[in-house]
Amino acid sequence: MIAYVTVGADDLVCAKRFYSAFLPTLDYDLKEGPEGLSFTLPVPAGQTAVLPDFYVKPTFDGRPASAGNGAMIAFEARSQQQVRDLHSAALAAGGFDEGQPGFRDSYGAHFYVGYLRDPQGNKIALFSNDPEEPGREG
């Protein structure tokens, strides 16, 4: 099981604006500290943590943060409409479009996804895969 994902950021203010545009809608809580931003899912009393956590931090070696080539973090939305709404909110909060929300021929008939880059260049996917919603034709 994946316990956490960390991305580097040189500008935590920009990163906070970007990730706060959609992660709270997906039920992530934000905690800020001197080590960076920690986005976690709430833990009901008496239960274990819901994973993975998502961290945005300055680099440990002090060199500039960089996006991994081929690396991507995907967050599941509740619906196709939520994918569109969160993609727009993230763009308005300083993100860059990497692929408008929609169906992709290479994925399943109900896999609806939009792609972004955060202000640091990390690739983010927002997707829904609900068989109760309309699917891709053909």
- Cα of first residue to Cα of last residue in the chain, in angstroms, is 34
| 3-state SS assignment for residue 124 | strand
pTM strictly above 0.85:
yes
The whole domain housing 51 covers 4-59+67-128
Nearest CA among 103, 114, 112, 99 for reference residue 138: 103
Q: How many domains does the chain have?
A: 1
Is residue 96 included in any domain, yes or no?
Answer: yes
Three state DSSP letters for 16-44: HHHHHCCCHHHCCEEEEECCEEEEECCCC
What's the whole-number average pLDDT of the chain? 95
Q: pLDDT digit string (tens) for 68-81?
A: 888 999 999 999 99
Q: Residue 135: inside a domain, yes or no?
A: no
pLDDT in tens, 92-105: 999 999 999 999 98
